[in-house]
């Protein structure tokens, strides 16, 4: 009887504290870093866009474009904010290739150094170290595989984070106001009432010798307003984002892997009196990054 009582007491203690706390995790997306941090990165990205223009119900123009980008580089963080968020990077290219219409071409030779400056305003954050201009197709490719955002972008903890510790299998809503503000950084307008989203802690996975939290984030938005030429009005706009990430259980360590897919559709109407012009736009962009820290 004493042995049974003792066992029950141990079980009670485990359930009331020790076991539960061991299975709960702090959720932290933004990880402060120091200038000089270095890592190797491998990114695979893709971009697919289509546009159809109809005049009085008849197709007048139709365009479709699809390409993939592969980036392998050695990266150094050059500068950080007071909060430890990276503001500048140096990418030493091992490989930067673009595949379109079945043809693969190298956009930059190995050894090229790309500077990324998050503090730049109203211009691409990319430049070549030592001077020289980046070709438009190279800038286009870099925008697919390097997405560090602007200096004052809304951080991921505001959008996807939670102050509560979470167990595996837990799911919680995103902060729709913060998410709407984040999308506005990219020139999109929408009301928080037209957005939903969730975050789920899928489990714990090992990567690069570290235990990492596996997380899935989703965003669904409707009535999204996109920048359009004068005389056109958005009739319908939707955005869907699905992202996954692996962040170490140790919140002092930076993220290890991240993948995201963005799908966007828009329908706009305009034209002259007696002429209705309808523009239909679809975009599907994806990127999958893995890092190895030195």
How many domains, in total, are found in the chain?
1
| pLDDT the model gives residue 152 | 67
Is the alpha carbon torsion for 137, 185, 35, 158 positive or negative? negative
Domain interval for residue 122: 29-293
pLDDT in tens, 78-100: 999 988 999 999 999 999 999 99
176-205 b/e (C-beta count within 10 Å ≥ 16 → b): bebbbebbeeeebebeeebbebebbbeeee
Nearest of 237, 127, 243 to residue 188 by alpha carbon: 237
20 located within any domain: no
Is 10 a member of any domain?
no
Q: Which residues of the chain have pLDDT under 70?
A: 1-22, 122, 148-152
Asked, for residue 15, whether it belongs to a domain, the answer is no
- Looking at residue 18, its pLDDT comes to 39
Reported pTM: 0.87
Asked if residue 18 belongs to a domain, the reply is no
């Amino acid at each position: 009887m004493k042995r049974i009582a003792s066992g029950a007491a141990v079980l009670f203690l485990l359930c009331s504290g020790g076991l539960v706390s061991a299975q709960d995790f702090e959720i932290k997306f933004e990880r402060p870093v120091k200038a000089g941090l270095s890592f190797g990165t491998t990114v695979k990205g893709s971009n697919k866009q289509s546009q159809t223009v109809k005049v009085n119900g008849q197709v007048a123009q139709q365009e479709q474009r699809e390409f993939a980008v592969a980036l392998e580089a050695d990266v150094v963080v050059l500068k950080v904010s007071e909060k430890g968020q990276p503001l500048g990077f140096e990418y030493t290219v091992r490989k930067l290739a673009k595949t379109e219409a079945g043809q693969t071409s190298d956009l930059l030779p190995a050894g090229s150094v790309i500077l990324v400056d998050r503090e730049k305003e109203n211009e691409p954050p990319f430049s070549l170290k030592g001077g020289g201009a980046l070709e438009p197709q190279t800038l286009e490719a870099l925008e697919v595989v390097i997405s560090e955002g602007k200096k004052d972008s809304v951080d991921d903890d505001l959008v996807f984070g939670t102050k509560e510790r979470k167990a595996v299998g837990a799911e919680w809503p995103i902060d729709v106001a913060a998410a709407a503000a984040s999308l506005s950084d990219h020139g999109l307008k929408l009301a928080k009432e037209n957005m939903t989203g969730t975050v789920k802690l899928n489990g714990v996975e090992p990567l690069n010798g570290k235990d990492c939290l596996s997380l899935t984030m989703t965003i669904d938005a409707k009535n999204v307003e996109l920048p359009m030429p004068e005389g056109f009005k958005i009739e319908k706009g939707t955005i869907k984002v699905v992202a996954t990430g692996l962040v170490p259980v140790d919140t002092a360590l930076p993220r290890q892997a991240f993948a995201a897919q963005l799908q966007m559709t828009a329908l706009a109407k305009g034209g002259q009196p007696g002429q209705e012009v309808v523009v239909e736009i679809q975009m599907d962009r994806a990127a999958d990054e893995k890092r190895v820290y030195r």
